[in-house]
């Protein structure tokens, strides 16, 4: 019997220009301090960083479309976190053997099969689940704004059962045992956090929040000391 986890990364809905793509370590500095640093540096050049990011209109009908393909099991467990690596633990905990991932990143590991030898983190958790045989299949639904392509992961694709369906190509009646929404704060701007939590609320699910600290975004009251602190971050 298929038991699946529906794993959704908030960056699936975030559109930005190529110059804002990057690879980051998930820590306090990168999920909040670095955003202020980038804002201050951009402002010094006469630019408004907040205009570099926009939210996909797909967010409004997302949960309705989800329910056209997925059935939420009775007693379903739902989680919110900042790091996507939590999906690894959730899938193991509830005996899920399939993953449906909505994301701007594949999270299979970035460096071929050798990247699956490292500890579990936000960039390889899905590949680790496959390698360690916790799951039998992975279905990656890329964001319309992704910079990644299926062929980037050819060695891992060849080793495991991985598909890259479009949203509208998904089967119907897929039963979901667990849902995880991650914020990926190193990649998604703090001024959209209210939209993030409203998006989660619109699912109608009751979530347990695991390690997703509140981010304060108040550029109007940045004093000189704050700016020095962030610029040194």
pLDDT tens column, 103-115? 999 999 988 898 8
Q: Which of 93, 104, 161, 96 is nearest to 127 (CA)?
A: 161
Mean pLDDT within 20-27:
54
For every residue of 172-189, DSSP letters joined together read S-EEEEEEEEE--TTTS-
The tokens describing 208, both together, are 């347990």
The predicted pLDDT at position 21 comes to 47
Is it the case that residue 24 has pLDDT exceeding 80? no
Amino acid 221: pLDDT: 86
Q: What pLDDT is stored for residue 112 in this prediction?
A: 85
Total-model pTM: 0.93
pLDDT band of residue 233 (cuts 50, 70, 90) is low
Q: DSSP state, 62?
A: H
Residue 194 to residue 171: CA distance in whole angstroms:
32
User: What is the average pLDDT value for the chain, to the nearest integer?
Assistant: 91
Q: What is the pLDDT of residue 225?
A: 77
Q: What is the pLDDT of residues 179-229, one digit of tens each?
A: 999 999 989 999 999 999 999 999 999 999 999 999 999 988 887 677 777
3-state DSSP assignment of residue 120: coil
What is the model's pLDDT at position 13? 97
Tokens standing for 3?
Answer: 């038991």
Residue 63 has pLDDT above 90, yes or no: yes
Q: What angle do CA 58, 61, 66 make, to 5 degrees?
A: 100
């Amino acid at each position: 019997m298929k038991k699946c986890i529906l794993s959704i990364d908030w960056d699936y809905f975030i559109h930005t220009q190529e110059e804002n793509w990057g690879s980051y370590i998930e820590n306090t500095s990168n999920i909040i301090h670095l955003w202020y640093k980038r804002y201050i540096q951009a402002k010094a050049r006469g630019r408004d960083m907040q205009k570099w990011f926009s939210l996909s209109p797909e967010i409004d009908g997302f949960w309705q479309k989800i329910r056209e393909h997925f059935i939420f099991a009775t007693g379903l467990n739902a989680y919110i976190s900042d790091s996507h690596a939590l999906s690894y633990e959730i899938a193991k905990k509830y005996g899920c053997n399939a993953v449906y991932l909505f994301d701007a990143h594949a999270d299979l590991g970035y460096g071929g099969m050798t990247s699956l030898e490292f500890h579990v983190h936000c960039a390889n958790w899905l590949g680790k689940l496959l390698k360690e045989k916790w799951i039998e299949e992975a279905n990656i639904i890329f964001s319309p704004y992704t910079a990644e392509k299926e062929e980037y992961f050819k060695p891992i694709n060849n080793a495991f059962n991985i598909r890259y369906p479009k949203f509208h190509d998904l089967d119907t009646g897929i039963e979901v045992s667990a849902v995880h929404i991650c914020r990926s704060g190193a990649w998604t701007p703090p001024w959209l956090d209210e939209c993030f939590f409203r998006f989660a609320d619109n699912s109608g699910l009751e979530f347990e929040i695991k390690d997703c600290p509140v981010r304060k975004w108040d550029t109007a009251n940045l004093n000189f000391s704050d700016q020095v602190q962030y610029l040194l971050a």
